[in-house]
Chains A and B, each alone.
Chain A
């Protein structure tokens, strides 16, 4: 990285904070103008800042980015449509589990035996490349109107299952059980079970105020999970995701609360997460490992194609290729897994750079191919589902 740096510029905390928030502002404006996700632009600007200024990442940024990662996980859980998931559990479990397990196994094995990474680093590689992006998939489906079709709903539910696999593995694989695991597990269960029960009364009494007690409640819960998870030498992503999931029905009927939480998250915290991720990407390391980068990309995509396609033929016919390509996308959880590995000292900066680059590529390449060559016509698909359910026999019986 230092070869690209202008100088070993010593940035004060205030200077760095100004640069980062300036970059977040620029990213928002560029995102609106170009119609590209703000997260990708933040990652890109983070790469520029990290490589141009050669700045060490301060503790406060590591902490805020870590919290933002947990908040993103919580928000992802809260965005799940539980009723849809229940309706589509059979198809979505089959596709989702394979979509997680196939690339996880292949990428872990390739990183360990093919690249000589340590066992833990190889597992981080497997996790980062196992994900499917809920948001990328959602955008494609909504944009085309396919989110209203059975296939669209099935793909969304399968994406959730894949991500559940990733966060579960991230929490379980690196746990070193100690006495703190008991309070960590107890607090997780108490929050997941208790918060949805107290939420209606709490929000009725304290909601709709600019002082935002409801956001503070969510933040306290997430920080508690992070603290206890840290003491237990585990990771709070799984309970954070499940907590979001437990509160998803509440947020579905209280959209304003969810909006406020998103505003706080997207205005300040998540930009720091993506900028911090970008800052740790070493362009020189990517340039020196372009071959490995390409191999890792194929190690993510090919197992997804091989594993998911047969199931998609069964459950999402006649749009198996489209389904498979969407299941091959990744972004947020891939970045979260990679950043966890970097922060925990499991992977080094070169490995992190490679993983984040592959994750970003996987957000773009399969999406472009799916939209350009395999995108179903939503109106035609809705007509087909309405008039010819027998044409998709695997869907029968699950429709109700």
Chain B
């Protein structure tokens, strides 16, 4: 019983680790930063509406550059 529960918990933890971190930990970091900045900009209108999408775009570009295929001389 306890062994089965342990296996289920491990599988559950493994699923969430794969889902949130996986092979792109920078995107998990990006999300944490965006959430933190959103709270810092609480109550604003223009600043929040501009900064949050821009942050997501910058992190997306950085992650894409990190994931690109390296070729000789690159």
Chain B binds chain A: no
B residues lining the A interface (CB < 8 Å):
none
A residues lining the B interface (CB < 8 Å):
none
